[in-house]
Amino acid sequence: GECSAFKERFMECLRQSGYESAACRQSAMAYLECRMDRRARRQLMANEPLEKLGFKDLINEKSGEKPEKS
- 10 by Cβ neighbours in 10 Å (0-12 / 13-18 / 19+) ranks as buried
Domain ranges of the chain: 3-61
Q: In whole numbers, what is the pLDDT of the chain averaged over residues?
A: 80
Residue 42: its pLDDT value, please? 58
Q: Per residue in 3-18, pLDDT tens?
A: 899 999 999 999 999 9
What confidence category does residue 70 fall into, taking pLDDT thresholds of 50, 70 and 90? very low
Higher pLDDT, 38 or 11: 11
List helix spans (H) across the chain. 4-16, 25-37, 39-42, 56-63
